[in-house]
Structure 1
């Protein structure tokens, strides 16, 4: 067999080199595509894994390492934003809740002042202050409602408390609003105190929102009933007559921004009953609404 010439050896070496180069190129392209897929999964939120940096090319490994460091910093930044957001929501909820009671007291004293024998200019000033205080209370309650609706991880802090006393206190606090609408509530309570084991602040907010809704839309006596069932569950019912109950869609009553009676421009945000539904679900209760004899009846079970 004839010996291969130098040119033939060179061609073989070049061929082997090209094959190795092609193989490396194919492997490199495959790893780049794999790296791109991993980055895409991270961007789309479908994966939380760090990028694989066991690569054949050192520069590519370095790039993957830099991307991992960037990903870690982004996660830390997002976590920080979420913590601040949760803190802000909690702060808004707590501040709004704490402001509601003093604002109610302010409104009560302003209403008493309006009944005094004031001079015309004084009466006008009190009227303006009363109007602004009412608006402030509405804004505070709206902030609280929004914070509750946006909070996805609210955990109830349960304790035993007297819900009978809570209901009486709420009705007393809302005396200004009731008197303004010329509403005298009909209250039906058992002759003993009812206690529940639940989140006190959440239950208070539920009852307050239901009472506020009834006052806004009632055209007569509001009937409020609290009773205890044999299984230790409590039933709270609030009923208010309406000018036109045909405008109420009970299937949508607890939806966000649903205001029902479109003929009345009362400034309602449509958030109050949505908050009620959210809080009742968190507490594992049940709430339903129905229209009967031109009255809206909402029944809460906890």
Structure 2
């Protein structure tokens, strides 16, 4: 029992200064008001005893509350709790209970986020390794074949060199996209916003990509906005967006046309890239902006896709406080759109 009292008093010692101050004031007033020293000393002894009893009670209560908190913290450390609702403290500790619940919930969310990051990192490294191996092994195969004697065969050597060269271009594109996506996701992408003439800007991009469209006998059409329309954005980064979207539209369209439209709204202008290509299923639309996700992996590699283009497009568009939207129907075509501020 005495050990328990000692523990209680030890728990209550944080209030010892306040008790001593109160007792000192009481004793001082007792000496000033009461002339009878016997009564004064009697009151001092009673005050001392009452203080010990009160300190014991306060220490007992505080020790119990501390044990509650220790038990909860130990439970969190040992993963005893699965949900914040399982954490319960006494009535006097409700404010602390809510803080611990919030801390526990944040800890769970942080752990889940770290696990997700690790999964993403692992998948990313696996995808990068695979994507790098594909062109490297192809180039190696062509070179080995040429070294084994095919280099002297005029019907084979140029064809193999052309294919090897195409794979080096694909590899260069992949590395460029990897650098871009790395800078974007690490927050190192620097944006330079300004107003620019959208008709002049898109016309130049269309002119650069017309040759690619003609090679597939596809019509590349631009429907201009009103003359002099100025939009706000980063011209350099937006060129990546237009180039990626138009390139994809041409690559996955076998016949028909690819259209680029600018529809003026009250505060924004809607940019639309529409094609009459193979289209995308609703199931795939939800995932096409993921890194290395391909609707048709074999076809994508055949046309030189890196699997990063749409992920880059999404990040750049979002950096303009906009959102990339997709409408598509398999066998009919696709429409990608986003808005820029006027």
Under a length normalisation based on structure 1, what TM-score does the superposition of the two structures give? 0.52
Whether the aligned pair in 2 keeps the contact of 1:259 and 1:269 (CA below 8 Å) is no
Residue number in structure 1 paired with 2:265: 229
Aligned partners of 1:235 and 1:300 also within 8 Å: yes
Contact 1:148 1:275 in 2 (8 A): no
Paired residues for 1:71-82 under 5 Å: none
* 1:134-149 paired onto structure 2 within 5 Å: 135=170, 138-139=173-174, 141-149=176-184
1:301 aligns with 2:328: no
Contact 1:245 1:294 in 2 (8 A): no
Q: 1:205 to 1:244 in 2, by over 3 A?
A: closer
Distance in 2 (CA, whole Å) between partners of 1:175 and 1:127 is: 23
Deviation of 1:299 after TM superposition, in Å, equals: 1.1
- Is 1:261 the counterpart of 2:296? The answer is yes
Q: How much does 1:125 deviate?
A: 12
**Could you say which residue in structure 2 is the equivalent of 1:241?**
276
Query: Which structure 2 residue ranges, 5 or more long, are not aligned?
Result: 1-154
* Alignment match of 1:216 (pick from 251, 258, 262): 251
CA distance in structure 2 between the partners assigned to 1:130 and 1:173 by the alignment: 22
Question: Is 1:271 matched with 2:308?
Answer: yes
* Structure 2 counterparts to residues 9-88 of structure 1, below 5 A: none
Please list, as runs of the form range in 1=range in 2, the aligned pairs for 1:188-203 lying within 5 A after superposition: 188-203=223-238
Mapping for residues 43-192 of structure 1, pairs under 5 Å: 131=166, 135=170, 138-139=173-174, 141-192=176-227
Q: Alpha-carbon deviation of 1:215? A: 1.7
Deviates more, 1:240-249 or 1:197-206: 240-249
Contact 1:247 1:260 in 2 (8 A): no
Partner of 2:54: none
- 1:286 alignment partner in structure 2: 323
* Structure of greater Rg: 2
Say if 1:193 and 1:124 are closer, same or farther in 2 by CA, change over 3 A: farther
- Let me know the Cα RMSD of the aligned residues: 3.2
1:150 Cα deviation after fit? 3.7
TM-superposed CA distance for 1:163, in Å, is: 2.0
In structure 2, what is the Cα distance between the partners aligned to 1:192 and 1:130? 42
What CA distance in whole angstroms lies between the structure 1 residues aligned with 2:172 and 2:222?
A: 25
Q: What TM-score results when the alignment is normalised by the length of structure 2?
A: 0.46
Separation in 1, partners of 2:228, 2:166: 36
Unpaired stretches in structure 1, ≥5 consecutive residues: 1-119
**TM-aligned CA distance change 1:300 to 1:175, over 3 Å:** same
Corresponding residue number in structure 1 for 2:68: none
